[in-house]
Copies of this chain bind each other. A is one copy, B any other.
Amino acid sequence: MSARLPFPEWMACVQERVEKALARHLPSAEAIPARLHRAMRYSCLNGGKRVRPLLAFASGEICAAPEEKLEIVACALEMIHAYSLVHDDLPCMDNDVLRRGRPTCHVEYGEATALLAGDALQTQAFLLLARESLGDPAVQLEMLRVLAHACGSLGMAGGQAIDLDAVGRALELPELELMHAMKTGALIRAAATLGALCGEGLPDGARQALDRFAKRAGLLFQVVDDILDCTASTATLGKTAGKDSAADKPSCVGLMGLERAREFAGQLREQAIESLASFGERARRLVELTDFIARRRF
């Protein structure tokens, strides 16, 4: 994808490419069991911002990563993300009925099928990352470890468990940051690392700098999410607005108020971009993506 494309066009290109790749890498809607496969496709192929794929592609530009490989890791990341949304929306979790402007998976297909669709999407992500040729098998194993670590009990699933335990309980900022770092931050960091692993590799120092960036960008993403949950409408978000505060869930806005949450987001944006200084022009897409995350309205 041309480095000269303006950011909105670049973003649209990546989104379209990932949508098409997901359609190819998910089981066909006709294959048996068709209902399960339709539910999997319904949950993945419904637009979405594709923040994790965008991050993988933008990180890939630092390491001259081939787009065919970035496409694979982008699909695996998005399948994991979709699985987590399907399960989070279930009645025993957030019990939500609206996602990306459409009925949630269990509303459309029933709870049992939604449970299995989430399960099978997680598996499909690992199958894809193990199946497709991504060059050196040792690096490919490392990619699998990065993804599994990010979404397991010490990452995304663990963050969700902390969130469950925290409902109705006042969290301090460090606790809240830990929850966000695990629940959404871990997969966002994995996206940056995986994008870089698709390319020529980074020396340790540069890899750490990229990870520092991704930590801050991940927290920024979540703080903006908290702000939007309070300030945007359900129609704009495509998901139920105000549900975190209604459910007495811990959030940055609840903890520090809207004004200070906005300041905090501004600081995180600056710190994230600072972490990229040593990459120079190669990090242009990452800087643009950070601005997009900071300014998004949906």
Chain A interfacial positions (CB closer than 8 Å to B): 27, 31-33, 35-37, 40, 83, 87, 90-93, 111-113, 115-116, 118-120, 122-124, 126-127, 130-131, 136-138, 140-141, 144-145, 148-149, 151-154, 157-158, 160-162, 164-165, 178
Contact = CB atoms under 8 A, between A and B. Distances in A.
When all copies of this chain in the complex are counted, the total is 2
Nearest to A162: B33
A101 to B, nearest CB: 25
A130 B141 contact: yes
Given A27-B153, A115-B115, A140-B141, A165 B130 contact: no
B126 A144 contact: yes
25 contacts: A32-B178, A33-B158, A33-B161, A33-B165, A35-B165, A37-B153, A83-B119, A87-B115, A87-B119, A92-B111, A92-B112, A113-B161, A116-B157, A116-B161, A120-B152, A123-B152, A123-B153, A126-B148, A127-B152, A130-B144, A131-B145, A131-B148, A137-B138, A141-B141, A144-B144
Given A32-B162, A120-B153, 6 more contacts: A27-B153, A32-B178, A87-B119, A91-B92, A130-B144, A136-B137
B112 A127 contact: no
A123 B186 CA distance: 14
B148 A127 contact: yes
Contacts of A130: 141, 144-145, 148
Contacts of A152: 120, 123-124, 127
Contacts of A127: 145, 148-149, 152
A124 B155 CA distance: 11
A147 to B, nearest CB: 8
Contacts of A116: 87, 153, 157, 160-161, 164
Contacts of A87: 115-116, 119
A31 B122 contact: no
A137 B137 CA distance: 6
Contact of A115 (B92, B124, B137, B162): B92
B124 A126 contact: no
A157 B123 contact: yes
A120 B84 CA distance: 11
Nearest to A83: B119
A33 B154 CA distance: 8
